[in-house]
Amino acid sequence: MIEKDGSGYRLEICLDNECPRDTLFSLIQKHIAPGTEIWTDCWKAYEGLADIPGKNYTHKTVNHRSLGVGRFVDPTSGVNIQAIKGSWKHLKYGVINAGYKKEDLADHLCTYMWHRIVRKRGEDPFDCMWQAIKNIYPIKECNL
């Protein structure tokens, strides 16, 4: 999931690269505020998003297959899914097709997302790594 302003990423990993509708809808309800306008492609699992009781989602789609290869913006509605498709392309070629073992995939995906966020913020990856280590393993005072 990518926020429209491009400021945030959310990575949810579904085992065996399968995400049934009930799992998908549960994740959407957990992470997306009621009343949000959601833009997706025309994957069948997304059907019914606007009908989730009590959520008031507006669901708009892009049928990129009818627009042609590599086109992810509907010229009529303006619905644009280029950001998520671009992210998926980099994930697919940088992690998934790199020959990693299936059981290590989640770790590599998380590493990929961490690097992407650090780069987007313009931060030094080395400094961020040390900050993360410091936060996870705080130094306790030692009275000798």
Nearest CA among 41, 35, 36, 42 for reference residue 5: 36
Amino acid at 18: E
- Report how far Cα 77 is from the mean position of its chain's Cα atoms: 23
What pLDDT is recorded for position 105? Answer: 74
Nearest CA among 12, 69, 77 for reference residue 39: 77
142 pLDDT exceeds 80? Answer: no
What pLDDT is recorded for position 12? Answer: 65
pLDDT digits (tens, 9 = 90+) for 90-104: 666 666 677 777 777
What pLDDT is recorded for position 50? Answer: 92
pLDDT digits (tens, 9 = 90+) for 62-90: 776 666 655 666 667 767 666 666 666 66
What pLDDT is recorded for position 27? Answer: 87
pLDDT digits (tens, 9 = 90+) for 21-53: 888 899 889 988 999 888 887 788 889 999 999
- Report how far Cα 28 is from the mean position of its chain's Cα atoms: 11
Q: DSSP letters along 53-72, please?
A: TTT--EEEEE-HHHH-TT--
What pLDDT is recorded for position 95? Answer: 67
Helix (H, G, I), strand (E, B) or coil at 80: strand
59 pLDDT exceeds 80? Answer: yes
Burial class for 39, CB neighbours closer than 10 Å (0-12, 13-18, 19+): buried
Output the pTM of the full model: 0.59
Helix (H, G, I), strand (E, B) or coil at 85: helix
17 — alpha (psi -120 to 50), left (phi > 0) or beta? left
